[in-house]
Amino acid sequence: VRLEHDLRRALERGEELWVAYQPIVEMVTGGLAGFEALVRWNHPERGNIPPGIFIPIAESTGLIVTLGAWVLREACRQIAEWQDKRLPGSANLFMSINLSTRQLNDPDMVALVREVLRETGAEPSWIKLEITESAVMEKAEQSIRLLQTLRGLGIKMSIDDFGTGYSSLSYLHKLPIDSLKVDRSFVMAMHQSEENRAIVRIIMDLARLLGFDVIAEGIETSADANLLRALACDYGQGYHFARPMPAADADRLVGAEH
């Protein structure tokens, strides 16, 4: 109850929350491909509270709708800033932004996204919304319609934590998505056995068959990175490349790309 109260206050004041950006790299070149926006809470008395603690509270209380809107706005503001820094004709970076189940079922979601795009001037093609497999499958038909509408705006989509939820393969090919994100539990198990490597290989084959690109998360060692490169994984994310970082550091990375 205390944390719920404090989170509500943090959302009203907007001073304790901030967004960390974790780089996502192109596996072949090692070049910067994009970032994932990850919310952080610096509580005035208790210091950093992990999102693993406060996101579930936000979900169960419905505060996630306000929190999610705040993250979306913040990340889009950052995109708009970076848009101006990129050389004309150079490929876009993408910004992955997490959407919770609640947001996915929120009838005002499309209106919110339109408003944030207009307000910030962010290019929709830079945005990649991450939706977990279980969130999409919960109300599959309804989710597909929302994703189609958002995609119509030029926004990209990826399925997060792929392989951990219950996935209906009969829906997977109908999903209007661009990428599959291989859950870090699979990536982190790769070095242990051939069976574990086979699971990752099969997820990638499936993704390619369906026309999605693949992002592997939780890459912590160069050995993991090499295994994934050998499987022709498109993008990678993990402590081996970079940790989530404050906007100022991410900004220096974007600037250093030229």
Query: Any residues with CB less than 8 A from the CB of 176 and at least 6 apart, and which?
Result: 144, 147, 148, 151, 157
Nearest distance, CB of residue 89 and ligand G, angstroms: 31
Strand partners, 19: 39
- The residue whose two tokens read 């994100």 is 181
Residue 161 makes contact with Mn ion by CB under 5 A: yes
Interface with Mn ion, residue 160, by CB under 5 A? yes
Stretch that binds Mn ion, among 29-37, 45-53, 155-163, 219-227 (CB under 5 A): 155-163
**Residue with smallest beta-carbon separation from ligand G:** 238
**36 contacts Mn ion (rule: CB under 5 A):** no
Q: Are 25 and 96 in contact (CB under 8 A)?
A: no
CB of 184 to Mn ion, least distance (A): 6
Instruction: Give the tokens for residue 13.
Output: 């004041």
Note the residues at the interface with ligand G (CB under 6 A): 22, 38-39, 50-52, 55, 68, 71, 98, 100, 160-161, 184, 217-220, 237-239, 244
Q: Do 38 and 21 form a contact (C-beta atoms < 8 A)?
A: yes
Residue 133 interacting with Mn ion (CB under 5 A): no
Verify binding: residue 224, Mn ion, rule CB under 5 A: no
Segment near Mn ion (CB under 5 A); pick from 37-45, 74-82, 159-167, 203-211? 159-167
Which residues of the chain form contacts with Na ion (CB under 5 A)? 98, 130, 160
Coil, strand, or helix at residue 134? helix
Report the residue number, 10 or 216, with the smaller CB distance to Mn ion. Answer: 216
Buried b (16+ CB within 10 A) or exposed e, 31-69: ebbbbbbbbbbeeeeeeebeeeebbebbbebebbbebbb
Nearer to Na ion, 17 or 99 (CB): 99
Q: Which residues bind Mn ion (CB under 5 A)?
A: 160-161
